[in-house]
Amino acid sequence: MEFTENLSENRKSAEERASVLANPGFGDFFTDHTAVIDWTADAQGHNGQWHDARIEPYGPISMDPAASVLHYGQEIFEGLKAYRHEDGSVWTFRPHANAARLNKSAARLALPQLDEEAFVESLRKLVAADIDWVPTGDGEALYLRPFMIATEAFLGVRAAREVSYRVIASPAGNYFGGELKPVAIWVSQQYARAGRGGTGSAKCGGNYAASLVAQLEAEEHGCKQVLFLDPFNDNAVEELGGMNVFFVTKDNKLVTPALTGTILEGVTRSSVIQLAKDRGLEVEERKITLDEWRDGVASGDIAEVFACGTAAVITPIGVLKNGEELIGDENAKAGEVTMSIREELLGIQRGTVEDRHGWLERLV
Ligand code: COI
């Protein structure tokens, strides 16, 4: 797909950029440009065309107040990162996996399919325009946020016939801020994240909106994230508000909840599974309940727990707070297996560890 370019005449100054890059945090600062592709359905609303692929200055989106996304939440998104290598080149990690997942989410939310190559090209063009924003620090990257929204002004409840795909970029350090250290997680007892047949495995804004009340509860209890359980399935562990969960057993097995349709098929999750298998670790994707977590920590059968996702990379979990009950240790150190897989993954992404699986794709 051909992109036209309208580069910003109002870029942030080198000083402003340097001050952001000195301490990027997560999600607070945005680069100078955005990638956009629009889609319009045919008269019957069934088929449509992507058109007007472009790079334009970053700025507010002008939208009709009746746009369906504002009323019915017809929206999906992705998250991936661009990594600076030592020679200055910029790479991304498994972009086709994100493109495929975007299309799966699109199918569930009645949004149009986007060609995988157009997806990758949108990242390439945006990162080329904003290359100076790709951080160089340890564990830092340019977070890329592709998303698709229903822009048609129409209040009847049906799939929109006008859609916009966009990508924005934001320099990112540690998702949880500051130095990497084990985080505390709050168990949501009142709210579930998803149900059978729902949108749990799609990456749509609604899933995250529904997690926020529980996330507020977590923060009130000094926790960084919320853990969702399936209350109709023995309190099976599902996922955190924005990341998947892994357990390392004392006999070096990796256990993670199976993909049942209610949890997100994380790209980091599947990469961790592959890296663990490469090291000869046994990996079990299965049901794991809150009781098993509690008993495993008490008996020592569960040696480490960690969260993973593009934003979180791999973050050790110290303690799980279930009301008054504490499972784990608030002052726990990061586990060895956790940190070693994290280092390997970051090394592949930064080009310092061999990319055995061909996961990297050069952007610039
Ligand atoms: C990601 O890890 O990329 C996510 O989308 C999680 C969160 C920031 C929403």
Whether residue 198 is found in the same domain as residue 346 = yes
Whether residue 217 is found in the same domain as residue 158 = no
Q: What is the pLDDT of residue 106?
A: 98
Whether residue 168 is found in the same domain as residue 196 = no
Q: What are 59-68's pLDDT values in tens digits?
A: 999 999 999 9
How far does residue 204's CA lie from ligand 1's centre (Å)?
Answer: 11
Whether residue 162 is found in the same domain as residue 199 = no
If pLDDT is split at 50, 70 and 90, which confidence band does 214 have?
very high
Whether residue 131 is found in the same domain as residue 221 = no
Specify burial of residue 16 (Cβ count, 10 A radius: 0-12, 13-18, 19+): exposed
Q: What is the pLDDT of residue 43?
A: 86
Q: What is the mean pLDDT of residues 229-254?
A: 96
Nearest alpha carbon, ligand 1 atom 3: 79
Atom of ligand 1 nearest to the CA of 80: 3
| Residue 361 within any structural domain of the chain | no
Backbone angles phi, psi at 187, to 5 degrees: -85, 125
Whether residue 219 is found in the same domain as residue 148 = no
Atom of ligand 1 nearest to the CA of 175: 8
**How, if at all, do strands 4-5 and 48-57 pair?**
parallel
How far does residue 9's CA lie from ligand 1's centre (Å)?
Answer: 31
Distance CA 168, CA 12 (A): 15
Q: Is 328 in the pocket of ligand 1 (CB under 6 A)?
A: no
Q: What is the pLDDT of residue 179?
A: 87
Q: Catalogue the E-assigned strands of 231-343.
A: 236-240, 244-249, 253-257, 282-286, 302-309, 313-322, 325-328
Percent with pLDDT over 70 in the chain: 100
Kindly state the tokens that stand for 351: 């080009």
| Residue 147 within any structural domain of the chain | yes
Yes or no: say if 216 and 210 are a contact pair by the CB < 8 Å rule. no
Q: Domain of 256: which CATH number?
A: 3.20.10.10
If pLDDT is split at 50, 70 and 90, which confidence band does 349 have?
very high
Q: Domain of 123: which CATH number?
A: 3.30.470.10
End-to-end CA distance of the chain: 17
Kindly state the tokens that stand for 70: 């504002």
Q: What are 271-293's pLDDT values in tens digits?
A: 999 999 999 999 999 999 999 99
Q: What are 293-331's pLDDT values in tens digits?
A: 999 999 999 999 999 999 999 999 999 999 999 999 989
Q: What is the mean pLDDT of residues 335-340?
A: 98
| Residue 358 within any structural domain of the chain | no
Yes or no: say if 144 and 169 are a contact pair by the CB < 8 Å rule. yes
Q: What is the mean pLDDT of residues 352-357?
A: 98
Q: How many domains in the chain?
A: 2
Q: What's the whole-number average pLDDT of the chain?
A: 97
How far does residue 18's CA lie from ligand 1's centre (Å)?
Answer: 25
Q: What is the mean pLDDT of residues 334-356?
A: 97
Whether residue 54 is found in the same domain as residue 167 = yes
If pLDDT is split at 50, 70 and 90, which confidence band does 20 have?
very high
Range of the domain at 31: 4-172
Atom of ligand 1 nearest to the CA of 312: 2
Q: What is the pLDDT of residue 254?
A: 98
Whether residue 238 is found in the same domain as residue 337 = yes
Q: Which of 105, 142, 226, 243 to mutate to test the pocket of ligand 1 (most atoms within 8 A of CB)?
A: 243
Nearest alpha carbon, ligand 1 atom 9: 242
| Residue 99 within any structural domain of the chain | yes
| Residue 357 within any structural domain of the chain | no
Distance CA 274, CA 277 (A): 5
If pLDDT is split at 50, 70 and 90, which confidence band does 75 have?
very high
Q: Which of 101, 310, 313, 314 to mutate to test the pocket of ligand 1 (most atoms within 8 A of CB)?
A: 310
How far does residue 146's CA lie from ligand 1's centre (Å)?
Answer: 11
How far does residue 197's CA lie from ligand 1's centre (Å)?
Answer: 22
Q: Is 241 in the pocket of ligand 1 (CB under 6 A)?
A: no
Domain boundary among 104, 137, 172: 172
Domain boundary among 124, 152, 172: 172
For residue 208, pLDDT over 90 is answered with yes
Domain boundary among 143, 172, 201: 172
Whether residue 165 is found in the same domain as residue 191 = no
Yes or no: say if 128 and 139 are a contact pair by the CB < 8 Å rule. no
The full DSSP string for 231-254 is TTTTTEEEEESSSEEEEEETTSEE
Question: Who's near 209: CB < 8 A, 6+ residues apart?
Answer: 73
| Residue 356 within any structural domain of the chain | no
Q: What is the mean pLDDT of residues 223-248?
A: 96
Q: Of 63, 7, 49, which is closest to residue 31 (Cα–Cα)?
A: 7
If pLDDT is split at 50, 70 and 90, which confidence band does 44 have?
confident
Whether residue 244 is found in the same domain as residue 190 = yes
Q: What is the pLDDT of residue 46?
A: 80
Percent with pLDDT over 90 in the chain: 97
Kindly state the tokens that stand for 225: 């994230």
If pLDDT is split at 50, 70 and 90, which confidence band does 45 have?
confident
Q: Of 100, 92, 206, which is closest to residue 144 (Cα–Cα)?
A: 92
| Residue 359 within any structural domain of the chain | no
For residue 178, pLDDT over 90 is answered with no
Atom of ligand 1 nearest to the CA of 203: 5
Q: Is 242 in the pocket of ligand 1 (CB under 6 A)?
A: yes
Question: Who's near 68: CB < 8 A, 6+ residues apart?
Answer: 74, 150, 151, 152, 154, 160
Q: What is the mean pLDDT of residues 183-188?
A: 97
Query: Taking the CB of residue 89, how many other CB atoms lie within 10 A of it?
Result: 14
| Residue 177 within any structural domain of the chain | no
Distance CA 324, CA 345 (A): 35
Q: What are 122-173's pLDDT values in tens digits?
A: 999 999 999 999 999 999 999 999 999 999 999 999 999 999 999 999 999 9
DSSP H or E segment with residue 93? strand 90-93
Whether residue 307 is found in the same domain as residue 261 = yes
Q: What is the mean pLDDT of residues 248-252?
A: 97
Whether residue 122 is found in the same domain as residue 67 = yes
